[in-house]
Amino acid sequence: MNNKTAALGIKWEDILELVFDSRIDSVGLNERVDSLATRSIKKESKLDALNMIVSMCDLTTLEGEDTEGKISQMVAKAITPDPSNLDIKNVAAVCVYPSLVSIAKEKVGNSGVKVAAVSSYFPSGQVPMESKLLDTKYAIDSGADEIDIVINRKAFLEGDYRKVYDEIVALKEACGDVHLKTILEVGDLKTYENIRKASLISLAAGSDFIKTSTGKLSVGSSRQACYVMAKAVLDFKNLTGVSAGIKVAGGIRDSKDAIRYLVLINEEMGDEWLTPDLFRFGASSLLDDVLKQIKKLKTGAYQASYYFPRG
Amino acid sequence: MVNWEYSESVESQEIVNIKEKYQNFINGKFQQPNSKKYINTISPSTEEVLSKIVISNEKDVDNAVQSAQLGFEKWSNTSPHERSKHLFKLARLIQERSREFAVLESMDGGKPIKESRDFDLPQVAANFFYFAGWADKIDLSWGAKSLKPHGVVGQIIPWNFPLLMLAWKVAPALATGNTVVLKPAETTSLTALLFAELCEQAGLPDGVVNIITGDGTTGSLIVNHKDINKIAFTGSTQVGKLIQKSLAGRDVGLTLELGGKAANIVYEDAAIDQAVEGVVNGIFFNQGHVCCAGSRLLLQESIHDEFVAKLEKRMQTLRVGNPLDKNTDIGAINSKEQLNKIEGLVNEGVSDGGKIFQTECELPGNGFWFKPTLFTDVQPSYSIAREEIFGPVLTTLTFRTPQEAVEIANNTEYGLSAGVWTEKGSKILWTADRLQAGVVWANTFNKFDPSSPFGGYKESGFGREGGRQGLLSYLKAES
């Protein structure tokens, strides 16, 4: 038990009941998601959407080749996404490996940009629990504001849901008040039922956010997966009164796609979810496309990438 | 950020060219009618007058029937292969001009552009393609040349899917070698008249398709014309009965597609979120102006409260307004008359003791509008549970067991369609076997395909449209 699960006051048995009650009709679900994609977002509402997307971005680099220099570049971009248009405010966070948290933290200063670290042996999570805890504690001690962990897919696919739950509970306990985002890795889970089960387990274990993907698989986020997670978050709120957030990441590269996610969240969850506190995009190339679209709406010119500073 | 409002995204009307007034399309061209009586055809979303159409009189009907008789001599002797080519050409032209048709359909009828664009027009083209494929395979398909066309077919169609109902009627009739006199509904004649232009453009032989406008009096003149060989009617049960009476004792073929009060049965083991979507689609599609609408929601008692809460929340997100706005989910009620009928039945539902929920939405000042409405606490004896409302009004009843669900579902004079929602396959089959309805959808609703026959049980009519069975409605056996 961690502070959050204690406050939620729900028992493992309650979660099991919900988890085994996961019934999803994939044909109907796909149809609904496709129909939401036909919304036509133009003019003012498009500009509002693009600005929201910037404010919800977790600008991310998660590579073996990441260095202090790379992190400095990215943080500068996170604070001032487009130096030619200072109306565009900073993104929500930068997301890095634990060893780069301290440098990121130093560079963001008091800009308001949060530092998120992936831990628990992202992206596979295939190590003993002690190692996951060490990894997480190291990131927190280095100053991370947010922690992105991966669920134990090995245990999940073997049907050991209790183990998945216990690990998240322990990692959230290590986090304390630090914001915990739990990555389901929907590309590994494959079915909508699995995504719903993993969502409910993660929420019940005290996650502040559930997140679609690591971005390391060929199958990243999808609006369908986001829809399943949105419904799980709503059902969890009905049960506990707690509003959890959703982060979509992996393969969201253009504004059009990102706006479709916003429409989905807006219509399925309501506009109270349209805030960086409850909805985020994991992004690397998405941000520049959004900046280009904002420039196009303002000036009519669609500019090349070299007009926008590297991140 | 909160209050993210979608800006208006209105489809342009420029593509549409509406004439000041319309003539009848007879013998391959628009002709000055004999009748001097014209009525305005208006846009139900703005009440603006779009054009004038003629109320055809006896002489006009006679001209149209004579033209169709002459047309029949040529058309029935045209090789099936040639008939097929003509139908394929119509199908392709519909696709080419589909945006024009979709915009006109939404202006004249009030349905949202996303439906006319994504549902009506693709279905219209699909029907012509499908029956074009049949035209030269009919003899083979039934093994002998014993099936003949009726001759001149009078077709009277409703205002809810104006062009699609035209396609359902005209395509199989032509494929089987009949010629037609078609009368669209008086509130929605414009797309049929644009289709007449298309027949000219396609080079269809003169007299094969004749389109005359008018109201119920014109319809009755068609039904009672001495040289009509078959009537195909889609509309209300009340009018269907009148037609059947007037045809009694005459050698005139008849198919009727009439009203409905479909049960949409949701079992406790359904995928609830998708069932909510399906129920919404089942009743609010096309403002509920759908004969097969899932207008009676049958909920298992154990999930009633949870389901109704989710349903009301979902209904609240429906966007009611300008049919030409691409983000509109629910458009205008087709006519003042229909709006009055809906309001009357809803008031009765309230005074009977039903609990009413309507979404909070701002309705435009002009035009005919009705808020999405849900009734709970309804007894099977209430008129809102028995009569076809033909509007965006859903009535909820409850049941305890599958047996009871089937009894309630069949406890109606209608039998056009039904829906079953459960994740359990065996329960779907058990239920579908016992439902007296022409179409039973499982874990979906309002799905159509030209290859799937459609038609009713009981007072929902007889004869089938679509599929191989739909061809038989336009053929008669000759020994």
- CATH code of the domain containing A53: 3.20.20.70
Note whether B142 and B183 are same-domain residues: yes
Q: Is B160 within the bounds of a domain? A: yes
Note whether B180 and B64 are same-domain residues: yes
Q: Distance between CA atoms of A200 and B239, rounded to whole angstroms?
A: 54
Query: A27 CB near a chain B CB, below 8 Å?
Result: yes
Which among B272, B273, B281 is the top mutation candidate for probing chain A, defined by the most A β-carbons within 10 Å of its own β-carbon? B273
Q: Is B13 within the bounds of a domain? A: no
- Strand residues in B317-449 grouped as ranges (E): 355-358, 373-376, 393-399, 417-421, 439-442
pLDDT tens, residue by residue, B127-157: 999 999 999 998 877 765 688 999 999 999 9
Per-residue model confidence (pLDDT) at position B379: 96
Contact predicate A82/A291, CB 8 Å = yes
Chain A residues within 8 A of B272 when measuring between CB atoms: 23
Query: A277 CB near a chain B CB, below 8 Å?
Result: no
Q: Is A188 a catalytic residue?
A: no
Alpha helices for B117-189 (secondary structure H): 121-134, 138-142, 162-175
Q: Is A308 within the bounds of a domain? A: no
Note whether B418 and B382 are same-domain residues: yes
Residue B278, min C-alpha distance to chain A (Å): 8
Mean pLDDT (whole number) for B67-87 = 97
Interface predicted TM-score (ipTM) of this complex, two decimals: 0.94
Per-residue model confidence (pLDDT) at position B73: 97
Beta bridge mates, B393:
B373
Decide the pairing of beta strands B373-376 and B38-42: unpaired
pLDDT tens, residue by residue, A270-294: 999 999 999 999 988 999 999 999 9
Q: Do A45 and B7 touch (CB under 8 A)?
A: yes
Distance set, CA B234 to CA A64, B119, B173 (Å): 68, 19, 15
Burial letters A128-145, b for 16+ CB under 10 A, else e: eeeebbbbbbebbebbbb
Helix and strand element counts for chain B (H, E): 17, 19
Percent of chain B whose predicted confidence (pLDDT) is above 70: 99
Chain B residues within 8 A of A49 when measuring between CB atoms: 4
Note whether B279 and B409 are same-domain residues: yes
Omega cis (within 30) before A128: no
Q: Do B327 and A39 touch (CB under 8 A)?
A: yes
Beta bridge mates, B376:
B355
Query: A253 CB near a chain B CB, below 8 Å?
Result: no
Note whether B273 and B353 are same-domain residues: yes
Q: Among the listed ranges A16-20, A152-156, A201-205, which one has the minimum average pLDDT value?
A: A16-20
Q: Is B361 a catalytic residue?
A: no
Q: Do A31 and B277 touch (CB under 8 A)?
A: yes
Q: Is the pLDDT of residue B479 over 70?
A: no
Q: Distance between CA atoms of B356 and B378, rounded to whole angstroms?
A: 10
Note whether B240 and B354 are same-domain residues: no
SS3 B406: helix
Per-residue model confidence (pLDDT) at position A3: 83
Note whether B412 and B300 are same-domain residues: yes
Identify the DSSP state of B5: P
Radius of gyration of chain B measured on its C-alpha atoms: 22
Q: Do B1 and A48 touch (CB under 8 A)?
A: yes
Q: Is A210 within the bounds of a domain? A: yes
Per-residue model confidence (pLDDT) at position A233: 97
Q: Domain with B31 in it: what CATH number?
A: 3.40.605.10
Q: What is chain A's mean pLDDT, rounded?
A: 96
Per-residue model confidence (pLDDT) at position B144: 59
Mean pLDDT (whole number) for A231-248 = 95
Chain A residues within 8 A of B273 when measuring between CB atoms: 24, 29, 231
Per-residue model confidence (pLDDT) at position B427: 98
Q: Is the pLDDT of residue A139 over 80?
A: yes
Chain B residues within 8 A of A44 when measuring between CB atoms: 5, 7
Provide CB contacts within 8 A for B131, sequence distance 6+.
B87, B171, B172, B174, B175, B450, B471
φ and ψ at B440, to 5 degrees?
A: -120, 120
Q: Is A280 within the bounds of a domain? A: yes
Q: Among the listed ranges B137-146, B157-166, B238-247, B301-310, which one has the minimum average pLDDT value?
A: B137-146
Q: Do B7 and A42 touch (CB under 8 A)?
A: yes
What residue of B is the nearest CA neighbor of A275?
B1
Q: Distance between CA atoms of B149 and B66, rounded to whole angstroms?
A: 17
Q: Is B230 within the bounds of a domain? A: yes
- pLDDT tier at B201, thresholds 50, 70, 90: very high
Mean pLDDT (whole number) for B32-57 = 98
Q: Is the pLDDT of residue B277 over 90?
A: yes
Q: Is B94 within the bounds of a domain? A: yes
Q: Is the pLDDT of residue B2 over 80?
A: no
Letter for the amino acid at B99? R
Q: Is B233 within the bounds of a domain? A: yes
pLDDT tens, residue by residue, A38-56: 999 999 999 999 999 999 9
Return the axis-axis angle of helices A161-175 and A129-141, rounded to nearest 10°: 20
- pLDDT tier at B198, thresholds 50, 70, 90: very high
Number of domains in chain B: 2
Chain B residues within 8 A of A23 when measuring between CB atoms: 269-272, 423
Per-residue model confidence (pLDDT) at position A50: 98
Note whether B237 and B350 are same-domain residues: no
Contact predicate A94/A102, CB 8 Å = no
Q: Do B4 and A38 touch (CB under 8 A)?
A: no
The domain containing residue B373 runs over which residues?
A: 263-442
Q: Domain with B301 in it: what CATH number?
A: 3.40.309.10
Per-residue model confidence (pLDDT) at position A20: 84
Which candidate from A28, A29, A275 shows the least CB-CB separation from B1? A275
Q: Is the pLDDT of residue B1 over 60?
A: no
What residue of A is the nearest CA neighbor of B326?
A40
Q: Is A307 within the bounds of a domain? A: no
Q: Do A231 and B273 touch (CB under 8 A)?
A: yes
Q: Do A32 and B5 touch (CB under 8 A)?
A: no
Residue A31, min C-alpha distance to chain B (Å): 9
Note whether B267 and B327 are same-domain residues: yes
DSSP for chain A reads: --HHHHHHT--HHHHHHHHTT----HHHHHHHHHHHTT----HHHHHHHHHHHHHTEEEE---TT--HHHHHHHHHHHH-S-TT-TTS---SEEEE-GGGHHHHHHHHTTSS-EEEEE-SSTTT--S-HHHHHHHHHHHHHTT-SEEEEE--HHHHHTT-HHHHHHHHHHHHHHHTTSEEEEE--HHHH-SHHHHHHHHHHHHHTT-SEEE---S-SSS---HHHHHHHHHHHHHHHHHHS---EEEEESS--SHHHHHHHHHHHHHHH-GGG-STTTEEEEESSHHHHHHHHHHHHHHS----GGGS---
Chain B residues within 8 A of A32 when measuring between CB atoms: 274, 277
Mean pLDDT (whole number) for B436-445 = 98
Q: Of B116, B114, B96, whose CA–CA distance to B104 is shortest?
A: B116
Note whether B354 and B380 are same-domain residues: yes
Q: Distance between CA atoms of B105 and B99, rounded to whole angstroms?
A: 10
Q: Distance between CA atoms of A262 and A92, rounded to whole angstroms?
A: 16
Q: Is A306 within the bounds of a domain? A: no
Alpha helices for B285-396 (secondary structure H): 304-315, 336-352, 383-386
Which candidate from A29, A45, A267 shows the least CB-CB separation from B5? A45
Per-residue model confidence (pLDDT) at position A22: 87
- Strand residues in B242-328 grouped as ranges (E): 253-257, 263-266, 296-300
pLDDT tens, residue by residue, B7-30: 999 999 999 999 999 999 999 999
- Strand order in B373-376's β-sheet? B355-358, B373-376, B393-399, B296-300, B263-266, B417-421, B439-442
Residues 155-184 of A with CB under 8 A from B: none
pLDDT tens, residue by residue, A118-136: 999 999 999 999 999 999 9
Chain B residues within 8 A of A39 when measuring between CB atoms: 6, 326-327
Please pick, among B291, B292, B388, B465, the residue that the annotation labels catalytic.
B291
The domain containing residue A134 runs over which residues?
A: 3-298
Q: Is the pLDDT of residue A62 over 90?
A: yes
Q: Do A28 and B7 touch (CB under 8 A)?
A: no
- pLDDT tier at B314, thresholds 50, 70, 90: very high
Q: Is B1 within the bounds of a domain? A: no
Per-residue model confidence (pLDDT) at position A141: 98
Chain B residues within 8 A of A30 when measuring between CB atoms: none
pLDDT tens, residue by residue, A167-189: 999 999 999 999 999 999 999 99
Per-residue model confidence (pLDDT) at position B258: 97
pLDDT tens, residue by residue, B89-109: 999 999 999 999 999 999 999
Q: Do A51 and B273 touch (CB under 8 A)?
A: no
Number of domains in chain A: 1
Percent of chain A whose predicted confidence (pLDDT) is above 70: 100
What residue of B is the nearest CA neighbor of A28?
B274
Percent of chain B whose predicted confidence (pLDDT) is above 90: 96
Q: Is the pLDDT of residue A11 over 90?
A: no
Q: Is B95 within the bounds of a domain? A: yes
Q: Is the pLDDT of residue A2 over 90?
A: no
Note whether B220 and B162 are same-domain residues: yes
pLDDT tens, residue by residue, B245-273: 999 999 999 999 999 999 999 999 999 99
pTM: 0.96
Q: Do A267 and B317 touch (CB under 8 A)?
A: yes
Q: Is B5 within the bounds of a domain? A: no
Instruction: Return the half-sphere exposure (C-beta side, CA atoms, 13 A cut-off) of residue A28.
Output: 26
Q: Distance between CA atoms of B49 and B62, rounded to whole angstroms?
A: 29
Note whether B274 and B150 are same-domain residues: no
